Structure 1
Amino acid sequence: MSISTAAPSTPVLADLVCAVREIVRLERPPAEAARLVAGRIEGFLAQPDLLPAEYREGAPDRYRQHLVHTEDDGSFSVVALVWQPGQQTPIHDHVAWCVAGVYEGAETERRYELRGEGVTARLVAADDAINNAGTACGFAPPGDIHLVRNSGTSTVISIHVYGAHIGKLGTSIRREYHLPVADE
């Protein structure tokens, strides 16, 4: 995926970064930080001037990641993801807590549980969710295995906040899973 970096370039985006900063400075456990950030960013997702044009550009071959902000101390990053119809992530988990807020369209998410180990290791679909514009959800490892896709016919744009320095890491993905998917 391609990465573009720049400082927040709209007043609303700068306000979102400040709101996330206030929560991250509370130094809450990862799952609580994700829940608090998710609740806080939902109000920003309805703002039509949240993202400038350069963060709304997709790519024809895969979803596109725009690095919007990384906190100087590396405690969090804000990313805009742009999904064309049919684009999706691999099945993966994350290096840190994560919040996904949908700005335009709807993301389809399938969550998995890892069962067994060694040669019996497999993934079992645990939940399907449709995350609509204006909604945000947060989660933290372990147990954050999922696949996200644009199942619709128009572009989807989402804002993701990660409890990590995505500028240095390049991605929030800790591991991709290539295991069999089973019913149980």
Structure 2
Amino acid sequence: MTFVRSLPPRDTMLAGIDAAARLPEHDRPGAVAAAIQAFAADPALLEGLDCPCCPDRYVRHLLHSDPAGGYAVVALVWRPGQMSPVHAHRTWCAFAVHHGALTETYYSQDEGDLPVPAATKLLMRGEGSHGPADPALIHRLANLSCRTAISIHCYGVAFDRFGQDVNEIHAA
């Protein structure tokens, strides 16, 4: 997929995400990830937006919500030491690091149904990950660095449904 850079980077990225989100469901996560990763490292991506952090937890800032409710794009701001819960996704998702670095840890489930770390990947600026809705794909994102990180995420549900339709929590 080729992305034209005639618009500001955020608008071009969102147009690419919109086109990718209309593909058949099995192709969406990878295509949306490609659209995000094509612009994630651009320093001007969030230009003009106020994306403050929170001392207690990572914060989501809405960048775009599909009018039809099929997906939403958010910027997550992570202070050092902040992390997501251990979770799987109830919907497809894709993300990339815009600023800083994040560590993604993948988990398997032991015989007692508890998540056990299985692999870790350091994601630098412009790098990301994606996946379908799959209760077996369990992971955690964490900012283990000494500076604030920002990542761009797209989930296959409307923003107002994030609380109940995105994460299936396995451990805090």
Q: TM-score range by the shorter chain?
A: 0.7 to 0.9
Q: Distance in 2 between matches of 1:172 and 1:109?
A: 21
Pairwise CA RMSD of aligned residues? Answer: 2.0
SS in 2 for 1:44: coil
Q: Hey, which bits of structure 1, 4+ residues long, moved more than 6 A?
A: none
How far the C-alpha of 1:161 sits from its partner, in A, is 0.8
Distance 1:47 1:172 in 2: 30
* Residue number in structure 1 paired with 2:74: 79
Distance of 1:178 and 1:167 partners within structure 2: 23
1:156 aligns with 2:153: no
The C-alpha deviation readout for 1:10-61, integer Å capped at 9, x for no partner, is 93212111101111112232xx311121122212112221113544311111
Deviation at 1:166, TM superposition (A): 2.0
Contact 1:55 1:80 in 2 (8 A): no
Pair 100,114 (structure 1): closer, same or farther in 2 beyond 3 Å: same
- The yes-or-no answer on 1:21 pairing with 2:18 is yes
Between structures 1 and 2, the one with greater helix share = 1
Name the stretch that deviates more: 83-92 or 106-115: 106-115
In the alignment, structure 2 segments of 5+ residues that lack a partner are 1-6
SS at match of 2:126: coil
Deviations 1:114-155 (A, max 9, x none): 243xxx222222211111101121112212211111000000
- Shift of the alpha carbon at 1:73? 0.9
> Which secondary structure does the structure 1 equivalent of 2:171 belong to?
coil
TM-score, with normalisation over the residues of structure 1? 0.81
CA distance in 1, matches of 2:160, 2:132: 19
- Going from structure 1 to structure 2, the CA distance change for 1:72 and 1:41 (only over 3 Å counts) comes to same
Structure 1 unaligned blocks of 5 or more: 1-9, 180-184
Give yes or no for the alignment of 1:147 onto 2:140: yes
Distance 1:106 1:171 in 2: 27
1:182 corresponds in structure 2 to none
- Alignment partner of 1:124 is 2:116: yes
Q: Is the 8 A contact 1:67 1:167 kept in 2?
A: no
Q: Quick check: 78-87 or 158-167, which moved more?
A: 158-167
Deviations 1:95-117 (A, max 9, x none): 2111110001110111112243x
TM-score by length of 2: 0.87
Spell out the pairing of 1:54-69 with structure 2 (5 A cutoff): 54-69=49-64
Identical columns (%) = 32
Q: Using the alignment, how far apart are the partners of 1:106 and 1:91 within structure 2?
A: 18
